[in-house]
Chain A
């Protein structure tokens, strides 16, 4: 039996095309993936992401505990701020990537991938000391994301002037309930996420749409994160892909102990390991996950995510390859697409930044 988010009926009303995603019946698109993608890049779009998992970790030692489990430095999170983080196994492989919200000095909220929620919960619990409380609070929260350059206007219109810098959040009292309003997202554009009681989030969703925010499905969520070069678990990260290989150095603090730290440190010193690169197709074609990547005549790796990037209008790929770190000719790559090799050029994975 597929689960439904609190917004299910809204999706049906909007005639969304529904798919099974991580055990949830979710909208993949309402109108067209490309139209929804463009709405987020030039105006504002709204997503139901209530399927994401929320795990509460609390107690006097919650902070030190999380710091021993996650790659990024939890001590550096100020109250009212959120931090992107990665949870690794002892062997350096990725359990999941997640957002860590510091609600208070003793209370943290972790937002994890829907498909990994149970696994994450068990993993965290198995390491938790007796005086740290770990709870799956996913059912307490509805979650919507309003993303795009005009999203701040829509937020101000609804909640009044909100002073929020990127990666900051605050509690907002709204119609007798309490919401978490956070300036975060997964699209590469400015935006906000709103956590709150399911019924209230449902009302807000339709109100934003009535005001002209474009409803966007999981299809656009994927093309947007890909175009922004953001990693997705199951593509750029996984039990067999470490965050070092995925190039997420900004979110790894090797100067503190944590599960997997020694492996990640050794890997970071290695010159002949796999690394995530960006590729831009020089011959027309659509690269997709698992397509082979060649450098010269040698197969050097595989595409982790690929496709047409609607806003920058290029055929692009993220690929995990083992190539020399320097001295390669950026233009000597090829991707095999449906039996034919297509020329590709190595580019920064930050596709959006020109």
Chain B
């Protein structure tokens, strides 16, 4: 049973986002890290880059496979998690905390409306 925190919003592609004022913190879910297996490399955008909702903003590579990361919202990248450079395994160990990936300045909060609630995401995961 994977961990799906109640305070986050989710994408169908298994990213999560938390919002604090207009700062959206983004990572991948516990279910995603478990399916991928050991993460060995995370490719992230640079601070200042623009990301677009629904489009790939980076990739996460496990021993077995490479997967794109999809932006839950559009906006400018404010921070990236530099610790993932030398410690990509943080994504496995702590997907919702130390394994976060980027912080983005959210331009249009209405873009969050069609994201999945924890209940909806849980339903999707169970249906897989």
Contact = CB atoms under 8 A, between A and B. Distances in A.
Contact of B38 (A32, A315, A338): A32
Interface string A25-45: 000010011100000000000
B49 to A, nearest CB: 15
Contact of A308 (B59, B63, B92): B63
A189 to B, nearest CB: 18
Interface in B29-70: 37-38, 40-41, 43, 59, 61, 63-64, 66
A29 B37 contact: yes
Nearest to B40: A308
A133 to B, nearest CB: 41
Contact of B63 (A33, A284, A285, A338): A33
Contact of B41 (A32, A33, A308): A308
Contacts of A288: 66
A284 B40 CA distance: 10
Given A285-B41, A308-B40, A308-B41, A219 B64 contact: yes
Contacts of A307: 40, 63
A254 interface: no
A286 interface: yes
Interface in A319-341: 338
B50 to A, nearest CB: 19
B63 A219 contact: yes
Contacts of B64: 33, 219
A5 interface: no
Nearest to B61: A286
Given A288-B66, A338-B66, A33 B38 contact: yes
A223 interface: yes
A315 B61 CA distance: 12
Contacts of A33: 37-38, 63-64
Interface string A279-305: 000001110100000000000000000
Contacts of A285: 41, 43
A226 to B, nearest CB: 10
B41 A34 contact: no
Contacts of A284: 41, 85
Contacts of B40: 34, 286, 307-308, 315
Interface string A212-237: 00000001000100000000000000
Contacts of A34: 38, 40, 63, 89
Contacts of A29: 37
A171 to B, nearest CB: 37
A245 to B, nearest CB: 27
A29 B64 CA distance: 11
A223 to B, nearest CB: 6
Contacts of A308: 40-41, 63
Interface in B69-109: 85, 89, 92
Contacts of A338: 43, 59, 66
Nearest to B38: A34
B37 A286 contact: no
Nearest to B64: A219
Nearest to B34: A17
A339 to B, nearest CB: 11
Interface string A107-140: 0000000000000000000000000000000000
Nearest to B92: A32
Contacts of A219: 37, 63-64
A308 B88 CA distance: 12
Contact of A32 (B37, B43, B61, B66): B37
Sorted from nearest, which 5 A-B pairs have the closest CB atoms? A308-B40, A286-B61, A34-B38, A33-B63, A286-B41
Interface of B: 37-38, 40-41, 43, 59, 61, 63-64, 66, 85, 89, 92
Interface of A: 29, 32-34, 219, 223, 284-286, 288, 307-308, 315, 338
14 contacts: A32-B38, A32-B92, A33-B37, A34-B38, A34-B40, A34-B63, A34-B89, A219-B37, A285-B43, A288-B66, A307-B63, A308-B40, A338-B59, A338-B66
